[in-house]
Amino acid sequence: MDSKRIAVIGAGPSGIAAAKECLAHGLGDGLVVFEKSDQVGGNWVYREKPGHSSVYETTHIISSKYYSEYEDFPFPPGTPDYPHHTHLRKYFQDYADHFGVTQKIRFRTEVLQAGRGGDGSWTLRTRGPDGERSETFDALMVANGHHWNPRLPEYPGNFTGEYIHSHDFKSSKPYAGQRVLVLGGGNSAADVAVECSRVAARCCISMRRGHWFLPKFMFGWPGDVIYEKTAGWMPRWLRQPLLRLSIHMIAGSNERFGLQKPDYDVLEGHPTLNSELMYFLGHGEIVPKVGVARFDGRTVHFTDGTHEDFDVVIAATGYRISFPFFDKSFVDWEDTTHVPLWRRMFHPDAPNLYFIGLFQPLGCIWPLADYQAQLACLEIHGKYRRPGDLRSAIEHERRHPHFKFVQAVRHSTEVDYADFRKELFAELKKGGGRPHVRPANASIYQTDAWQKYA
């Protein structure tokens, strides 16, 4: 066993994967996981009152179980293609228990400050049930998530009704019989609009620009299964037109439903996966609106010159990437369009600092966060060496993204799942690491039904 002390901040899906890899690589003796809540799961622990978690009562994951499960820990039999947050809550706890992670977690303990000393070690000041304390660690893995600090837009004027961020949306029940406006075109905006339309007197959705809306099922399978299966052999230049054609064949065009046409290609921005939005738009249960120009009491004025009165405005407008325990002179990426980390995890000025799960794939974060953590453990053991000129490597990644992603804060950590997975595998092989092998009962590729399409 290695005597190094390792700190992991956060016991969400990425944090427990990081801890699991530390234990698997003999770094468990000095391992401590700091979690400010009372259980594992991070953003996926639903609570009735607003807090860290952004999930609401009816939330289901937007990536299928086949590309959301950790590749060495399958979902149990009977799990639906798109699990509910209750499935995920139990799944993460089972994972932490199975790999011995739970006993390494200090629950109800918040990291207040993380500073690097002259010798390179990290000193963490924390506050837990027994008060404040400081401890020193040889390496730090940051896995506090990036969907918890709401980005609330500001407009000229003042809205005198209820104005909240989707982070605080927990159920549509409070909005029964009310006039609701949802701002945004991402996954949360589509979900919230659909939920509110079931009970609201009127529900509108406002988008400043066009977005790509992908159905959750394509040709009878979850959309990510179709995409990832073809992405393994199909060149990038061909993926775009074929996926675009498939979307038009299955869902139709945005203009048909009163939405703006996207000004970027389908894989150049984070897609919205929702099979119900177009259905509700087509039935008149949700009314499309362009961007907001200003507020005036309960009247919302739009950029096309129209206006309408609302009781509630729900802004599903994304999150700020925040690390309250770091000094902002060291890390401040809230408003950047590209987070300057190599492989989305290595910081150029701190060789013993690892960001785990700080990326947004066209797919799910957790399985790939596991590979990032494995890579970090290999480096801590001295078996892997990062590029010598890390700043140049980061700049190369910035100039050569997997796709020509939209230059916006929302896409500052965007990657393609299949391509990023290949890149992590390549780095693991350099350090003698091995990708996990999906158990036969876990992979859709092993099913008789899938073999017809393989």
Alpha helix ranges (H) inside 198-283 = 223-231, 236-250, 277-282
Query: Under 8 Å CB-to-CB from 181, ≥6 apart: which residues?
Result: 203, 204, 205, 206, 289, 300, 308, 310, 312, 313, 314
Using 50, 70 and 90 to split pLDDT, how confident is the model at 437?
A: low
Q: For residue range 202-214, what is the model confidence (pLDDT) as tens digits?
A: 999 999 999 999 9
Separation CA 127–CA 201 (nearest Å): 46
Separation CA 111–CA 128 (nearest Å): 9
The residue among 241 and 448 whose pLDDT is bigger is: 241
What local confidence, expressed as pLDDT, does residue 436 receive? 66
DSSP state of 260: P
pLDDT beyond 70 at 335? yes
Q: For residue range 42-95, what is the model confidence (pLDDT) as tens digits?
A: 989 998 888 788 899 999 999 999 989 998 999 999 999 999 999 999 999 999
Q: For residue range 131-143, what is the model confidence (pLDDT) as tens digits?
A: 999 999 999 999 9
What local confidence, expressed as pLDDT, does residue 377 receive? 96
Please give the helix or strand (H or E) that residue 132 lies within, else none. strand 131-137
Across 168-182, b (16+ Cβ under 10 Å) vs e yields: ebbebeebeebbbbb
Q: Please state the rounded mean pLDDT for residues 428-447.
A: 59
The residue type of 90 is K
Give burial (CB, 10 Å; 0-12/13-18/19+) of 232. Answer: exposed
pTM for the full model?
A: 0.91
pLDDT beyond 60 at 195? yes
Domains contained in the chain, CATH given = 5-148+319-451 (3.50.50.60), 162-315 (3.50.50.60)
How many C-alpha atoms does 243 have within 13 Å on its Cβ side?
A: 27
What local confidence, expressed as pLDDT, does residue 2 receive? 59
Q: For residue range 336-391, what is the model confidence (pLDDT) as tens digits?
A: 999 999 999 999 999 999 999 999 987 899 999 999 999 999 999 999 999 999 99
Task: Confirm if 165 and 381 have CB atoms less than 8 A apart.
Answer: no
Task: Confirm if 228 and 418 have CB atoms less than 8 A apart.
Answer: yes
Helix (H/G/I), strand (E/B), else coil: 311: coil
Rg (CA), the chain: 22
What local confidence, expressed as pLDDT, does residue 449 receive? 31
Task: Confirm if 120 and 137 have CB atoms less than 8 A apart.
Answer: no
